[in-house]
Amino acid sequence: MASEKSKILVVGGTGYLGRHVVAASARLGHPTSALVRDTAPSDPAKAALLKTFQDAGVTLLKGDLYDQASLVSAVKGADVVISVLGSMQIADQSRLVDAIKEAGNVKRFFPSEFGLDVDRTGIVEPAKSILGAKVGIRRATEAAGIPYTYAVAGFFAGFALPNIGQLLAPGPPADKAVVLGDGDTKAVFVEEGDIATYTVLAADDPRAENKVLYIKPPANTLSHNELLSLWEKKTGKTFRREYVPEEAVLKQIQESPFPLNIILAIGHAAFVRGEQTGFEIDPAKGVDASELYPDVKYTTVDEYLNRFL
Residues designated as active site:
134
Backbone angles phi, psi at 236, to 5 degrees: 75, 15
Sheet holding 186-190, edge to edge: 155-156, 186-190, 221-223
**3-state SS assignment for residue 64:** coil
Cα gap 22→200, rounded to integer Å: 9
Residues paired with residue 213 on neighbouring β-strands, in sequence order = 151, 287
Write the DSSP symbol of residue 148: B
Q: How many CB atoms are located within 10 Å of the residue 71 CB?
A: 25
Q: Distance (Å, rounded) from C-alpha 57 to C-alpha 173? A: 42
CA distance 63 to 73: 9
Closest CA to 308 of 154, 194, 158: 158
What letter would DSSP give residue 92?
A: G
Buried/exposed code over 82-120 (b: 16+ C-beta within 10 A; e: otherwise): bbbbeeebbbebebbbbbbbebeebebbbbbbbbbbbee
